[in-house]
Chains A and B, each alone.
Chain A
């Protein structure tokens, strides 16, 4: 029968996203020479990737971002890792500027086209046992720590198609370990630059932050590039552990050029009495997708989740957040605010999940959008799933335009319309920044937003 000679169609999209560059050979090329546990972990992740269909817009979580249209996996090369050193004199201007603004720090790490090119850390901190290590180097130097925590509890390959892809193909990244009781006064600053040579490739980098009991650290992760001549996939997987009573701030500042497809997958685990705050700022890239899952694992844990975005032209931002309250007596408070100009589009999908038994949860979620142009568009889905009764939860979402009364008020004080608009937008976004008192960062972000508004 003719039927039987037909090649069997893969069921449910198996092998979707396996391309000439992204395939099992690529995994083997990385796994060869690595410790067995890591090689196996990569292979398992790859197998999970192969088995998981490419998300379609029929999936709730991808309803507004059509990957098949937005991401041309087939045309991507694989970003090759190469030994690099950072040479300030030959570095691109934007990178130098970004780094100059970051002088005051506990340590710096610079990644160039997906390979760590520079690390420094204050000696006094190194003496206290703090480590800031390129991930590739950590395989040999801190193998035990990696084996137990890299892509296991926080972002395992089972978390999703792209989580699996990153776990299989990561080439470098950062391991930050802060020992028990050690407090870092200044932030750790990471700058990741992608040059024109990196264009057209897929880059996979991981960040693993472990703040042991009673420690304290702020971490600023800035990823940037000029406009890229071809679609470039920049995948970041971020795992943050706040052990009991630790205090952690994680800030991601995305300033990629057009052409970039940024995929940032983050999971934060907050244990008893810890504070684990995040701020995600999206300003650049053609498409930026954030998956952030905050898990409140112990009583007294607290997570503030802040987000800020400003889109123009045809930028597309998609934020997918979840606040998972597993333990009772924990708090989470999310505020994502964005302004959209040109044809830009922003999606916010958030969920507060209060698991059975997570009594005395306080969880809030707010998304506010400002549409500045006729063509801009915002979609907002703030969801709640509550399975405990003694909770205080609320969520809110608004989409609106610039308030005409506010504009008139400012203009009646002599400001031209454009200045008045800028001031109102800055005020609107400023609410997010005012909640994160992190020296240097706020000024830097304000400056960049202002710059973008001027343009």
Chain B
């Protein structure tokens, strides 16, 4: 176990630093290797739980595939059920990675350095879930390749590029590829750092993954160039992906969907749930691997502030949605909203408002932002609320269409809950737990950059001191020599004398 050089203060309100700058550089390497080698019952217990849940959910999915879609609660009106809410939820969760790594990279926010790798991993695994959900949602998952926007494929199916669904597929493919490459690029020097000091099978993996990295000036130059370029490109991509997802709905005439504010609404909601997702991940990992030196209380304070800001944006969009339902004077639109506010979905709607709109106001208090159990619980509730939000965007709109004779209520079945909620969650948990043993979760070089660089202490020679400063220094020396310096020596002599008398 590595020695912790930085202790958390008793009152975190007194500490605003994100990391102790005096942590020696070798400690960063050692702590990362320690995370790779730490095997606790919590880790294996968690991994076993997630793997079990994946297997159970996969069995239920197989059951649905062989017996038919009739096992789902979907009907002629509500044909997107839990599939698309889950799809939007996981896309949303993926946005925090880009925000924390790329946006804060350009904002020169040093506090991101300890946590952004978790956010990027969350992005990648969330996007893998998105692909899985989309494939399952097809109904015949073995024909997923029919969705590929490739013409001349002998299927007599020409992709319609006018459809936002085709844009969606290309945007998500781009975002997944970009997120994976962005994550990998930042890890190349870290893989080299681990390659040099880790043995066994991991050494072989790290050797390949580090691309022969040696840390030369040219390598750093190319890395910084590539990282900055990809970072600059992935930010607009992030906004475009969820905007395109929003346009899937906006371009229809379904009540509740046809709304011009959906694109920014979706992006803001995505960032909101994504930040909550990062908090949910980082708090247990920090505890499990004793990463208190790198992930400080002040990180959660800053994440809390960010979440509060996004909560306000979210509340604004919710208010605009309610106001728009009245202002449009479209009876179906109004009815779709009323079904949420005072109709059959009212308990879910008000629970969502309570946990995503009202509860985050507690984040005004620094005591709340620096209380980790409260932050963890709050983040879980916010993400539950955000899942419900996506559900309430899709299902009431589909239920209450322009043809009242087709109106139908929707209740998900156990099959749907397992396939669209438990399977992605447990798959995400499994991938994340496995990544803890393969991927450097702390960016070694980015953390070292904000630590004190090893420097030989400066020796000031008279020639090196500018004339203006030389006068000041001379005056300081005179003051010291006359008063404080000799008074200190006198005190020390007195103390020594007293000690000698006591010793006899």
Are A and B associated in one complex?
A: no
What is the interface of chain B, defined by CB distance below 8 A to chain A?
none
What is the interface of chain A, defined by CB distance below 8 A to chain B?
none
